[in-house]
Amino acid sequence: MGFPRLKASPGSAQARLARPGSAVLLAALAVELADELFDGTKSASMPLIRHDLALNYVEVGLLAAVPLVVGSLLELPLGALSGTGARRRRLILAGGLVFIASVLAAGLAGSFGLLLVALTIFFPASGAFVSLTQAALMDAAPDRRAQHMARWTLAGSLGGVAGPLLVAVVLIAGGTWRLAFVLVAAGAAGAWVAVARAGRARQPRARARPAGARPAGADSVVADAADDLGAADEGAWPGWAAAVSIVRRAGALRWLALLEASDLLLDVLTAFLALYLVTAVHASPTVAALGVAVRLGAGLSGDVILIRLLSRRDSRQVLRVSVWLAVLLFPAFLLVPWLGPKLVLLAALTIATAPWYPVLQAELYGSLPGRSGLAVSLTSAAGLAGGLGPLAVGLLAQRVGLDWAMAALCAAPAAMLAVPRGRRESGGNARR
């Protein structure tokens, strides 16, 4: 498959940029992998961190909650005000440097306070480095948003799985969790260099620019590939009132709501999975950990399958089929009493829901053409509300039991039935 808007010879710079394995795409995926690698490393290292810094459970909770809330608030205006071209390039690269520094600071922190500050700084830095890179990737190929989001999700899944493995290897080699953090920072530095190099590449334009557009020699980063591939320029920030009007007219709130509903069967289910297996099936903690491993492995498989599937089918059709599969599989997962079949159903459910995040996120960007930064800010705002999901499940479990609280997650596939039936507007590369 190619980019139909691009007219270039097979050996030209633009043709190389358009290929899915181009430096631009690989640099963007490296950024996401580094972000999830840190998250996986941090989660696997938490028992060691708690021991070394003598943290109590309240402090552990604060390490999770404060960076999320404060970081999300700081990230809110970032996407909307980032623009494109040179300004976005500077934000991405600056965010990447702070990203690397905050990971190193977390690894060197000798107290709870220093670790809290480092992790809090990390969140807005990740927003600048990772979220704006994602927005740039969506701008670079509007007709392949779903396909590139599927690749983005796979890169994140690989990073999430690699994090605990990195910690295990470092510990076996005689190192500490601090060394694992330093290695993550080194990996993030490699991703930063890849983005910087991709941004410095100045490609010839596919067509003449309209009057008033940026000059051909303008500085660029991953987002500047959008100009070469015919994506719209965001232009100046329209103001908050105009932005609200744009969002309402575009129908972006529908996709944002579906994204938050889908998370109930994605991150929220994963967060409570081990506890559910111990409570409902009376599995041992070791077996429950195996269940989480099945979930992660099936997620990787689903991401790989999705990339292949989206090259042949329309993304909304894939999404609707996955929703109906989830409508059947999730209740079956809850109702079957035996561990073996339950894990098989869990794997099938995980593969079935693989399209949810990448396709919905791609549709959100597609509903705001030329306003990818605004989509980033909307996602940050929704993330604040979405953080109430795990809390709601926990409160419900405290009152009526975890079994019934997990049953409430059936609201996710029910809400997802609202996915529109029509093909996505960009047309994609689905074979008619």
Please report whether residue 40 resides in a domain: yes
| Model pLDDT, residue 244 | 61
C-alpha distances in angstroms, 121 versus 72, 181, 264? 11, 15, 27
Same domain flag for 185 and 285: no
Same domain flag for 44 and 151: yes
Please report whether residue 377 resides in a domain: no
Structure tokens at 217: 């020699």
Please report whether residue 19 resides in a domain: yes
Same domain flag for 173 and 284: no
Please report whether residue 211 resides in a domain: no
C-alpha distances in angstroms, 226 versus 181, 231, 253? 33, 5, 24
Same domain flag for 138 and 258: no
| Model pLDDT, residue 24 | 81
| Model pLDDT, residue 296 | 85
Please report whether residue 21 resides in a domain: yes
| Model pLDDT, residue 341 | 92
Same domain flag for 287 and 401: yes
Please report whether residue 213 resides in a domain: no
* Crossing angle of helices 356-367 and 252-262, rounded to 10°: 160
How far, in Å, CA of 222 to CA of 52, rounded?
A: 40
Structure tokens at 360: 């919905």
Q: pLDDT (tens digit, 0 to 9) for every residue of the chain, 432 residues total?
A: 333 333 333 443 333 333 434 778 889 999 999 999 998 888 878 878 888 998 887 787 778 778 877 777 777 777 666 666 677 888 899 999 999 999 999 999 999 999 999 999 998 899 889 988 888 888 777 788 888 888 998 998 899 888 888 888 898 999 999 999 999 999 999 999 999 888 665 444 434 444 444 433 333 333 344 333 233 344 445 555 555 666 665 577 788 888 888 888 888 888 788 778 888 888 887 777 778 888 888 988 999 999 889 888 888 899 999 999 999 999 999 999 888 899 999 999 999 999 998 998 888 888 777 677 777 777 777 766 666 677 677 778 778 888 888 888 898 888 888 887 655 544 344 333
Q: What is the DSSP string of 214-254?
A: PPTT----GGGHHHHTTPPP--S---HHHHHHHHHHHTHHH
Structure tokens at 36: 């999830």
Same domain flag for 263 and 225: no
| Model pLDDT, residue 237 | 52
| Model pLDDT, residue 106 | 95
Buried b (16+ CB within 10 A) or exposed e, 306-321: bbebbbebbbbbbbbe
Which 3-state string (H, E, C) describes 182-225? HHHHHHHHHHHHHHHHHHHCCCCCCCCCCCCCCCCCCCCCHHHH
Please report whether residue 432 resides in a domain: no
How far, in Å, CA of 181 to CA of 166, rounded?
A: 10
Residue 199 near residue 89 (C-beta atoms within 8 A): yes
Residue 41 near residue 122 (C-beta atoms within 8 A): no
C-alpha distances in angstroms, 293 versus 102, 268, 322, 346, 407? 29, 16, 22, 11, 22
Domain range for 405 is 246-369+387-416
Residue 256 near residue 379 (C-beta atoms within 8 A): yes
List all residues 6 or more positions away from 117 whose beta carbon is below 8 Å from its beta carbon. Answer: 105
CATH of the domain at 253: 1.20.1250.20
The domain total for the chain is 2
Same domain flag for 44 and 65: yes
How far, in Å, CA of 195 to CA of 213, rounded?
A: 24
Same domain flag for 230 and 252: no
List all residues 6 or more positions away from 283 whose beta carbon is below 8 Å from its beta carbon. Answer: 277, 291, 339
Please report whether residue 2 resides in a domain: no
How far, in Å, CA of 61 to CA of 81, rounded?
A: 32
Same domain flag for 185 and 319: no
Residue 143 near residue 149 (C-beta atoms within 8 A): no
Same domain flag for 228 and 256: no
Same domain flag for 349 and 411: yes
Same domain flag for 39 and 152: yes
